[in-house]
Amino acid sequence: MVKPINPVIVKARVKTQLTLKRQNDTLRSVALLDGLTGVANRRMFDEKLERDWRQCKREKEVLSVIMIDVDHFKRYNDRYGHLQGDTCLRSLANTLDEVINRPYDLLARYGGEEFACLLPNTHLDGGVQIAERMLECVETLEIEHLDSDTRQIVTISIGVAAMIPSNEATPLGLLAEADTQLYKAKQAGRACISFSV
């Protein structure tokens, strides 16, 4: 800005800067949200996992991760079609997102029909309680799934893991443990929760 200040020029420059800021915020938001479900995408999940890991490590607090998979979703798509499958995923994302209440918890679409949830400062028992509510809320939706071997409605399988971050552990190790627990839930018949003890 050059003196003397011209109010018309100042107003125009401020308006331009505000427009650029709004556009930048919109682009960043779009880049970090899943286009189908509206929850966080994998990129945002990975970024927040790194931040939460560092913060929990600094504070010596527990970080919990919940991995969620929609049971027999390929069969659902085959029977009801991909448009109905998209509608199903949106409903599930909304329902799962409503279960987590704290503003610093995060639900993200992890890939395909998988979701993941970050719960900083949450011990394993707290993560399991949230997972149980997720399981119940999805079942109360009663979305028909006649080709499921588990139930005649859409169900989810959940794996939960928790740890206090340290120099010996990694965020990927925590994710791997949650994924292992998810696999155990599927092996146990699906529509259930498995967690590390």
50, 61, 113, 132: the active-site residue: 113
**Which segments within the chain are labelled E, that is strand?**
63-70, 106-111, 114-120, 156-163, 193-195
Q: Which residues contact 146 (CB under 8 A, 6 or more apart)?
A: 79, 152
Lookup result for tokens 């938001």: 29
Distance, CA of 175 to CA of 58 (rounded, Å): 19
Q: Which residues contact 177 (CB under 8 A, 6 or more apart)?
A: 65, 161, 163, 196
Are the CB atoms for 62 and 124 separated by under 8 Å?
yes
Q: Does the annotation count 113 as an active-site position?
A: yes
Distance, CA of 28 to CA of 33 (rounded, Å): 9
Q: Assign residue 157 a region (left: φ > 0; alpha: ψ between -120 and 50; beta: otherwise).
A: beta
Catalytic residue set? 113
